[in-house]
Amino acid sequence: MKYLFIINDGPYGNERPYNALRLALNLVKREEVQVRVFLMGDGVQCAVARQVTPDGYYNIERMLKSIARRGEVFT
């Protein structure tokens, strides 16, 4: 199976990018699955390096790096 996630919301302020990346992280672990993430609009901010988040909050940058190791991420 092939999956394409298009993220066009900023990394924080709502949970859409987080939920999309959480699903992508679980799918990319499967052998028979190909995952691609396309960032556009405000979603490009998800790829900003060295994001500083408060303790206990998710870090979108780390999630994207994990997906990029096994899948593909485009901006």
Q: Please give the full DSSP string across 6-46, using - where no structure is assigned.
A: EE-S-SSSSSHHHHHHHHHHHHHTSTT-EEEEEE-GGGGGG
User: According to the model, what pLDDT value does residue 52 have?
Assistant: 87
Q: Structural domains in the chain?
A: 2-74 (3.40.1260.10)
pLDDT digits (tens, 9 = 90+) for 1-55: 999 999 999 888 888 999 999 999 999 999 899 999 999 999 999 898 898 887 8
State pTM to two decimals.
0.86
pLDDT digits (tens, 9 = 90+) for 49-62: 898 887 878 889 88
